[in-house]
Amino acid sequence: MPNYQQIINDIHANLKTTKNTGEVADYIPELGKVDGELFGIYLNNVHGNNFEVGDTQVPFSIQSISKVFSLAMAFANQGNALWERVDVEPSGNPFNFLSLLEREKGIPRNPLINSGAIVIADCLVSNLKNPKEDFIQFVRGLAGDDSISFNEQVAESERITGFRNYAIANLLKSFENLANPVEEVLDFYFHQCSIEMTCEQLSNAFFAFANHGVCMRGNQCLTQKQAKRINAIMLTCGFYDEAGEFAFEVGLPGKSGVGGGIVALLPNHYVITTWSPPLNEKGNSYFGMQALEQFTTETKSSIF
């Protein structure tokens, strides 16, 4: 087995000595308050010890990484009927793009862009008795950690600045691909994106996707088929219009968020989470992308 601790120590130290040309997301005001110097790497080894370096125990807003959790919950609830409302193809466009949605008559290209995630949110609002509470309990179950919660300040910050998401939701509504009121769906969506987790908690929550659907606590959270399908969507769609670059450079299924987090996994082996708030021009963590490329190169452990 590679010396994971030494490898992530070296990657972390080397990147900390280089200039980070990324910028912290400030279009959501609460995110703009985060210290751009924070940087952590956490590796959850499916069959052994875990490894960490840097700021792995600092909670941060997971943002679009939450779309994997909402997709997993909706897929478990609805099965293949879900794909009647959202496709599974890469978009090749930014995460909040509108014109593609209009051209394709209200069917989002995949569930990991904003339009697709808003449709998934609508599915959960329709099918859950207490949507926000049921969802946070689902995430806590995946991670084996009951302390995980929403950040209400971030959710409110998203609500008052989320004009493009309102436009997307109203466009979906015009194509009859939103069953519930726009405000209700977006309230759920903004809350799911506001979830705060540490690198360790995120790695734990993604454990099931690397372990055939079996969670940290040993229970079957997802079927093997569901885990397989969601991993495929992460590989092709997890980084928006940089998904091809991530597959090319890193070679793992994964998901990023504009809070600066990235989670990636090698089935049957590990989950690795990086967090560094400054983002590149595509909206992915500048240090995180480099760290994961270096990691899979050093460990020779991509899926390819």
Residue type, 269: H
Question: What mean pLDDT is predicted for residues 15-27?
Answer: 95
Summary mean pLDDT of the chain: 95
CATH tag for 64-195 (out of 3.30.470.20, 3.40.710.10, 3.20.20.70, 3.30.465.10): 3.40.710.10
* CATH number of the structural domain 4-63+198-299: 3.40.710.10
The label of the residue with tokens 């910028």 reads: 23
Closest among 269, 275, 276, 232 to 254, alpha carbons compared: 232
Active site residues: 64, 67, 189, 240, 258
Question: What mean pLDDT is predicted for residues 1-13?
Answer: 96
pLDDT of residue 240: 82
Q: Is the pLDDT of residue 302 over 70?
A: yes
User: Please, are residues 172 and 184 in contact by the beta-carbon 8 Å criterion?
Assistant: no
Query: Domain residues of the chain, as ranges?
Result: 4-63+198-299, 64-195
Vertex 73: Cα angle to 70 and 77 (nearest 5):
135
Condensed to tens digits (0 to 9), the pLDDT of residues 284-301 reads 999 999 999 999 999 999
Question: What mean pLDDT is predicted for residues 108-122?
Answer: 95
Please tell me the distance from the alpha carbon of residue 162 to that of residue 180, in angstroms, as a whole number. 18
* Element holding 243 (H helix, E strand): helix 243-249
pLDDT of residue 1: 82
List beta partners, residue 130: none
Share of the chain above pLDDT 70, in %: 98
Vertex 266: Cα angle to 252 and 298 (nearest 5):
75
Please tell me the distance from the alpha carbon of residue 236 to that of residue 242, in angstroms, as a whole number. 10
* Fold match flag (4-63+198-299 vs 64-195): yes
Closest among 255, 247, 211, 216 to 69, alpha carbons compared: 255
What confidence category does residue 92 fall into, taking pLDDT thresholds of 50, 70 and 90? low
pLDDT of residue 164: 93
pLDDT of residue 45: 95
Condensed to tens digits (0 to 9), the pLDDT of residues 160-210 reads 999 999 999 999 999 999 999 999 999 999 999 999 999 999 999 999 999
Closest among 168, 137, 133, 138 to 75, alpha carbons compared: 138
What confidence category does residue 94 fall into, taking pLDDT thresholds of 50, 70 and 90? low
